[in-house]
Each structure stands twice: as structure tokens, then as C-alpha cells.
Amino acid sequence: MSASAPTVSTHLARVLDANGSAPTSPISGGLRYQAPSIDEVGVAERVARFRSRSIKAESKRAAIDLAMRMIDLTTLEGKDTPGKVRQMCAKAKNPGAGAPPVAAVCVYANMARVAREAVQGSGLHVAAVSTSFPSGMSSLPLRLEETRWAISEGADEIDMVISRGRFLAGEDNAIFDEVAQIKEACGPAHLKVILETGELQTLDAVRRASEIAMDAGADFIKTSTGKVSPAATMDVTYVMLCAIRDYFERTGRMVGMKPAGGIRDTKTAISYLVMVKETLGPAWLSPDYFRIGASALANDLLMQIVKERTKAYQSPLYFSAD
């Protein structure tokens, strides 16, 4: 690591205890982050209010367009082919029905070059999953090499996974170091850190993992790979948004948020936008700071656009599956 890259030794005293006293939870090989305890009942009640917000008819189309511009249109299947990726990229650039382009396409690293060529000149970003996605179960040197390779293939955003087993074993310092080293390997590329919240077991753990990732240099924190159930939930996302808010108040650095997996319909997407605005403020209502990892959502947004225009629903068969 370079001298400028963050390390545990330079951050532990600052981030573990706001009062400057020694951290209280020693563990093997390092010290555990001290994150606030989460009131799960309070989170559920707050999220229920976000879901109940109504959107005026004249504002709905603007919200739909905004949600479309925030999508990372995604294909992460073992059966992905260059043709499938090119088709998805065409849809990403021009979804149809007068909708704006999405923010990015998200693919495996071996498809990054195909995606980069397909979106060239469009302004769309190419995100590549890395670090032995979705399990993260390989050595750090291999994960670093995969990250560098993905960038050399054309990715300008990297979606990495943390080592959940090590996190659950209490090795917070190891998670900090792996995120910091992957961030350094990214160079100018943006780093989204996937926590795989469905495996973290508690909202307290989600909050702690969020803080570690941000302190280690994450540009975005992301809920999930989409390969584990549950994936994105509003409760988990709200906890992560609160962590981002508190981190910004402490450091002045804006970190982005990406819920991924399970956001399939327009109503849910708009509820997420309401939650972002009311928790973080309008500055985060931008593809620069909020993304939705999705594949099916784009078609539902398109159906809603056509419905707003024609007052009649169309079949999903009118829109491409990819």
C-alpha cells in the first residue's frame, strides 16, 4: 500500500471512540469498531412511514425518470454472452418510451471490455463485479489482481464484496485493510463495497460494516450481490443511509448508496427515493450518490411511463427482457 492509503493503525483511535478513550472490545488481531446499537422497532416504524408517502400525479413522471437515471442495469449470470451484454447496453442507452438512459451497466469482469465498447461515447459507466463475487472466498492478492484486470478491461466502477466470514468472526481490522487495498487498486475508478447484508444477521452488524467500509475509502456502500436472500430491504437501506449521514457530519465526505436485488416495481423504487431525500437530503438524489442495482425494475418503470401517457397498461412482453 502507498503511504497515502488508509490503514487501520492511522484510523483506529479516530474512528472507534469519539471520546478519544481506548476502544473497549479487543479481539484477536485487532480491535472491534464501536458502532451505535440499532433500535429495530424504531427502524421498522420509520420505514413504514416512508412507504406510506404519496406522490402527486404531476411529480410521478419526474420520480420515474429519476429512478431510471439511477439504475445500474445488471446481468450477472453464468450464461452471459457478448450478445446478451450488447443488447443490455443498447437498452441502457435508450430504454424506450421517452425514458432517459440509466446510470451504468453492471457485468462480470470478463464482459467489461464488451460493455465498454458498447457504451462508448454515451456517458454511461461500466461497473464490474470483482473480488471473487459473490462469495469473496479467495486470497487478497487474487482479489486485487482481479480488480486491476477489470479496470484494464474498461470498468470505471468496481463492485467488490467483503469477506463476510472474517467480519462475522470479529476481524474488523482485516475488513478495513481489504477495502483500503482494493480502493488503492481501483485508482480513479469508483469503489462500491457490497456488504451482503442478508448474511450479516443483525442491523447492528450492518451499521458496523457500513462504518468500516466508509472509513476505508468506499465511494459507495451497497447492500447485496443479489445472489443471497434477503437482498435489499428498506430497513437495511435505512440503517446504511443513517450511517452515511453520520459519516458525512463527521468527515464532510459524501458517500453514495446502492441497494441491489429485489427492487422490481416503480412504487418500491419511489419509496426508496423518498427515504433518501428525507434521510440524507436532495444532494443525494443524483446518480452520483444513489444507484439501484436492478434488471427487472427498468421494465416496470417503462410500463408506468406508457400508462401515464396512454392511461392503459401494456404487457411486459412489449419490452426486452435484458
| pLDDT confidence of residue 4 | 43
| pLDDT confidence of residue 322 | 66
Region of residue 108 (left: phi > 0; alpha: psi -120 to 50; beta: else): beta
| pLDDT confidence of residue 308 | 85
Q: Identify the helix (H) or strand (E) that includes residue 306.
A: helix 297-310
CA count, 13 A, side-chain hemisphere, 13: 4
How far is Cα 251 from Cα 246, in angstroms, rounded to an integer? 9
| pLDDT confidence of residue 142 | 98
Using DSSP's 3-state secondary structure scheme, residue 221 falls into strand
pTM equals 0.89
On whether the 8-318 domain is CATH 3.20.20.70, my answer is: yes
User: Which mean pLDDT values do the consecutive 10-residue runs of the chain (322 residues) have?
Assistant: 41 39 37 85 97 87 97 97 98 96 98 98 98 97 98 98 97 96 98 98 97 97 96 97 98 98 95 97 98 94 91 76 69
Number of Cβ within 10 Å of residue 255's Cβ equals: 23
Q: Which residues carry out catalysis?
A: 159, 222, 258
Classify residue 23 by its DSSP letter.
P
Q: Where are the domains of the chain?
A: 8-318
| pLDDT confidence of residue 8 | 42
Region of residue 129 (left: phi > 0; alpha: psi -120 to 50; beta: else): beta
Rg (CA), the chain: 19
